[in-house]
A = this chain, B = another copy of it.
Amino acid sequence: MVNAKIKHDCKIELNGVDLRATPARVALMKLLETTDKPLDVQTMIDYLNQQEVKTDPATVFRIVNLFKEKGLLNLIQLNEGKFRYELTSKPHHHHFVCEQCGAIQDISDFSIKAVEDAIQEKRQIKIKSHSLEFFGMCKNCLK
């Protein structure tokens, strides 16, 4: 019942951006909705294959790219050699990555919108997005 409900929600969400609600897409939406840190594609694949939903890397890459085009996902890079993704529906925030243990924390203590507006006007450019990530040592690793 719970599953059915969530599936239904995702269906509406997906159809709303002209995408068919296939099992892999619905499962991926569910995963993204219940995860609090940016996911890389390999993690998504592993998760899906652990569930009832067998799928293929090519499919997941395609879904993720589609979701990004449709504006459902933000792309994030944390200086690894790969992309991570987060739902755009989550409140805007930045990240802190511990270089020792790899832990990722959300940073939402402030906004750089004012700065962004100032730069935009001064340079006569249009800023559509930004990425701001911090790197260092987390509380635990500092001990």
Chain A interface (Cβ < 8 Å from any Cβ of B): 75, 77, 79, 81, 83, 96, 98-99, 105, 107, 109-110, 112, 115-116, 118-120, 122-139, 142
Contact = CB atoms under 8 A, between A and B. Distances in A.
B127 A136 contact: yes
Given A125-B96, A128-B137, A131-B131, A110 B105 contact: no
Nearest to A131: B133
A94 to B, nearest CB: 9
Contacts of A115: 110, 112
B116 A134 contact: yes
B124 A139 contact: yes
Contacts of A96: 119, 123, 125, 127
A136 to B, nearest CB: 4
B123 A105 contact: yes
29 contacts: A75-B79, A77-B79, A79-B131, A96-B123, A96-B125, A96-B127, A109-B118, A109-B122, A110-B115, A110-B118, A110-B119, A112-B112, A116-B134, A120-B136, A124-B142, A125-B138, A125-B139, A126-B137, A127-B134, A127-B135, A128-B135, A128-B136, A129-B136, A130-B133, A130-B134, A131-B132, A131-B133, A131-B135, A132-B132
